[in-house]
Amino acid sequence: MMSENSTLQRVALPLLAIVIIFIGSISAGAAYLFVLLLSPFLIDPKRIQGNSSALFYSLVICSSLIFCFHNAFYTSFSLYFVEIIKIFALLLFSLIFSKLTAEQIRVVYQLILYFIFFNILSFNYDVEGRLSGFFIHANHLAYFTTFSLLLAFSMFNSYKLVFSLMLLLLTVILTKSSGGIIMSSIIVFVSFIYKYKVSLALIIKLFIMSLVVIFLSIYSGVYEILLYKIGGVDFVSVFDKANSHSFGSDGSLVWRFTYGIAILNDFNFQSFITKLFGEGLGTMTYGNYAYSFMLKDPHNDYIRLIVERGYLGAISVAIIFAYSFRKLNNKFLIYTALALPMASGNVIVSFPSMALFILIVIFYEKNSFNYSCKK
């Protein structure tokens, strides 16, 4: 009976983590609310010490209170309050799951792999033929899967690593997310360098992996899409279109450049105070866009941070990020895993991706990024 209870305790928290991530893939708002409701029963305030992600979100809340409060007078206090609550919920999530041991996070990761596999089995594709699974958008699934790649190298060796990489890369390819494919390829390359010494065997492994990815990309049609997107970039026309707010339909890469430049142009025409402190939290989210020409979010988290928080607020978040994770031995991987997807997606507003990012940080803290701990 005691062994059954201990097994239940060992599995209960990992199961709760994957349930929250699943809820967040369907509805971010429901996941935030669920975390807030759970926190009085599971939270341990003492765990903020030595918890890098909890420190990060605590300092981001402080930054938001200092740099973004005055804009609430010009936008909406309710919108400002909601954004602060979201950050607070992520802080609570990091405190709740800091109780997880490294072994329990292994269990969470195995459940995540099953969850990603079931996303493939759902056969839920959007009108463009992109796999979205249980997620509200294919890009969200792509970046969640990209984060998952980071843990594969810490969890597995040999055939388990190969199978997990194949599953994760296949999922990213099925989403047809050009940003996700590029970022996941970079993360795999950097992780290989971290995990193995540079040798002939490593070069062969990377070559074989590259061949597999290229084959899958060609077979799925992603290769042609990438060539079209990259080959269609004309920077002269991009700036002209941005200035005239004529975004056209020349592919998502051209659209992202044009749309992002247009948003920054409008922001830089604002008052000096606005440029320092931003348009206000939430002004880059659907239904609350700061500029009349906007029909979609910026698809770039750096632009989101600058416009919502201003240059001072965005710089403060960057400093907080570097300071919070400075003690991690693998901080370069952490910076890479988050900084790259932010350039082409909405990672910081995707609850599942941020929840997984927190779990990755907790795992690295428990293991001190020692690859010899893998199974």
| DSSP secondary structure string for all residues of 202-215 | HHHHHHHHHHHHHH
**Total domains present in the chain:** 1
Longest CA span, the chain: 71
In Å, what is the CA distance from 372 to each residue of 105, 156, 195, 348? Answer: 16, 10, 10, 31
d(CA 35, CA 42): 10
Measured CA to CA, the distance from residue 232 to residue 235 in angstroms comes to 10
* Helix-helix angle 102-121:351-367, to 10 degrees: 150
Does 93 fall in a domain? Answer: no
Q: What are the residues whose beta carbons fall under 8 Å from the beta carbon of 368, sequence distance 6 or more? A: 329
Range of the domain at 147: 2-42+100-230+351-366
> Lowest-confidence range among 87-96, 146-155, 229-238, 260-269?
229-238
Average pLDDT over residues 299-311: 90
- For residue 120, what are its two tokens? 């493939």
| Cβ contacts of 247 within 8 Å, gap of 6 or more | 241, 255, 258, 259, 262
Residue range 53-69: mean pLDDT, rounded: 88
Write the pLDDT tens digit of every residue in 182-237. 788 888 877 777 766 655 565 666 666 666 666 665 555 555 555 555 555 555 56
Q: Reply yes or no on whether the pLDDT at 337 is more than 50.
A: yes
d(CA 341, CA 338): 6
Within 10 Å of residue 77's Cβ, how many Cβ atoms? 11
For residue 226, what pLDDT is reported? 55
- Contact indicator for 272, 279 with CB cutoff of 8 Å: no
Look at residue 116 and tell me whether its pLDDT is greater than 90: yes
C-alpha span between 105 and 136 (Å, rounded)? 25
**Residue 190 included in any domain:** yes
Length of the chain: 375
Residue 19 in any domain: the answer is: yes
On whether residue 15 sits in a domain, the answer given is: yes
Amino acid at 94: S
Q: Using 50, 70 and 90 to split pLDDT, how confident is the model at 369? A: very low
Q: Exposed/middle/buried for 127, CB within 10 Å: 0-12, 13-18, 19+?
A: exposed
The pLDDT, as a whole number, for residue 92 is 92
CA nearest neighbour of 353 among 157, 120, 150, 124: 150
Lowest mean pLDDT among 9-13, 25-29, 289-293, 307-311: 9-13
> pTM for the full model?
0.83
90 vs 259, more confident: 90
Q: Which residue has 């970039």 as its token pair?
A: 233
Q: pLDDT-based confidence at 332, cuts 50/70/90?
A: confident
- The answer to whether 191 touches 364, Cβ cutoff 8 Å, is no
Residues 265, 259: Cα–Cα separation, whole Å: 10
Per-residue pLDDT at 316 exceeds 90? yes
Q: Is position 372 within any domain?
A: no
Question: Looking at residue 137, what DSSP letter applies?
Answer: S
Of the segments 31-40, 187-196, 288-297, which one has the largest average pLDDT value?
Answer: 31-40
At residue 216, the pLDDT reads 61
Q: 126-130, 179-183, 185-189, 243-247: which has the minimum mean pLDDT?
A: 243-247
DSSP result, 173-185:
HHHT-HHHHHHHH
pLDDT at 22: 92
> Reduced to 3 states, what is the DSSP secondary structure of residue 246?
coil
* pLDDT, position 330: 73
Q: Is the pLDDT of residue 4 over 50?
A: no
Tell me if 360 sits within 8 A of 341, measured CB to CB. no
Q: What is the pLDDT of residue 372?
A: 39
10 located within any domain:
yes
Nearest to 295 by CA among 267, 273, 262: 262
Report how far residue 92's alpha carbon sits from residue 265's, in angstroms, rounded to the nearest whole number: 36
Could you tell me the CA-to-CA distances from 334 to 123, 150, 329, 359 in Å, in that order? 31, 9, 10, 12
CB atoms within 10 A of CB 341: 30
pLDDT at 170 over 50: yes
Structure tokens at 284: 């880059």
Is 176 among the domain residues?
A: yes
From CA 6, how far away is CA 372, in angstroms rounded?
A: 26
What pLDDT is recorded for position 198?
57
Binned at pLDDT 50, 70 and 90, residue 39 comes out as confident
Is position 315 within any domain? Answer: no
Distance from the first to the final alpha carbon of the chain = 28
